[in-house]
Amino acid sequence: MLHLRLIIPPARTDEAIGVLEGCPGVTNLVVLPGAAREPLGDVILCDSARESANEVLSKLKWLETEGSIAVEQVDLSLSKVADEAVEEAPGEPDDAVVWEDLAQKVSTDSRVTWAYLAFLAIATQLAGIGVLQNSPILIVGAMVLGPEFGAVTAICFGLLQRRGHLIVTALRTLVIGFLVAIAITYVCALVSHWWGWIDYHNLDSNVEVQFIVKPDRWSFIVALLAGAAGVLSITAGKSSALVGVFISVTTVPAAGYVAVAAAVSDWKEVAPSVSQLGVNILGMVISGTVTLVVQRKFWPQVGRRSSI
C-alpha cells in the first residue's frame, strides 16, 4: 500500500474526493478541512494500492501547481478494507510500476554528487586492490559498493520517455564518475608502484580475477540479464535483488583494473578492461530499456492508466 497526503485548494476539494472515491484500490480516506497552512488548503489523507497509484496521480496531476501531493510506502497495514482495496485494484502489487516515483528516483540518481563520486572512487580502489591481491572477495565487495546502476537506470528511463536531457545528464554522471574514480585509483596505484609495493608482475598471477579483462559473449549475456533484473528490482521495490545485480556485473572491477594496469605500465591489459566496462554498461542499458518497454506496453495493470 501507498499512503497519500494531499493539500488542496478548498474550491477543488470535492473534485479531488470524487477522483479518489472513483479509483479502485483507494481506501482509508480522511478529509481535514482547512488544516493546511503552507500552502493554505484542505488536507486529504488516503491509502492506495500500488496498482492504482498511476491512475490517482495522473488524475490529480494538477496538484503539482495548485497544491501539494506526497506519497510514501506503507510497510505494514493491518486492515480488512486495505486488503479489499488491494484485491479490487487491477493486477499484482509487485508488477505495478509507479511511474512518477520512478521518474523522481532516476532524476536524483542521474546527478553527479559528492557521495556518488566518493562511493565510486572507494569501490574502484577496492577493486584495484582485489586485482593486485588476486582476491575475488574484494572484487565482489567493490561490485556491491558501486553506485553506478542508478545512472544506468536513468539512461533506460530517458530512452523510454525520449528525454534527451536526462540521457545526457546520466551519461555525463557515468563518464565523470568513472574518470574520477579511475584517476584517484591510478594515483594511489602509481604511488604504490614508486614505493616498490607493486609492479606489473602482480597482474601475472591474478588468475582468479582474469574474467574482468576477458569480455566475451557471456559478459554481454550477463549484463543483459543483470540490467533486466536491476530494473525489475527498482520498479518493484525489491532492493534485496539489486545486490545480486551489483555482484553480477564487472563495471567497477574493470575500472579498477584499468587504473592499476596503467599505473604499472601494463598497457596490454587496459584496452580489454575498457571493453569490459563498455560491454557491461551497453548490455544493461539495452535490457533495462527493453524491460521498461515491456512493463509499459504489455502489462496492462502497470501501464494502461499511466499518464507519463
C-alpha cell belonging to residue 235: 520498479
What class does CATH assign to 102-303? mainly alpha
Question: Dmax over Cα atoms in the chain, in whole Å?
Answer: 75
C-alpha cell belonging to residue 278: 563498455
pTM: 0.84
Query: What SS3 state is found at 195?
Result: coil
**pLDDT, tens only, 167-214:** 999 999 999 999 999 999 999 999 998 998 887 777 776 666 777 777
**Burial status of residue 218 (CB atoms within 10 A of its CB: 0-12, 13-18, 19 or more):** exposed
Q: What is the pLDDT of residue 111?
A: 92
Mean pLDDT of the chain: 87
Mean pLDDT, rounded, for 31-47: 93
**CATH number for the domain whose boundaries are 2-95:** 3.30.70.120
Whether 2-95 shares its CATH topology with 102-303 is answered: no
Going by C-beta distance under 8 Å and a sequence separation of 6 or more, which residues neighbour residue 76? Answer: none
Mean pLDDT, rounded, for 59-73: 91
**Burial status of residue 92 (CB atoms within 10 A of its CB: 0-12, 13-18, 19 or more):** middle
Contact 46, 17 (CB under 8 A): no
For the chain, domain boundaries: 2-95, 102-303
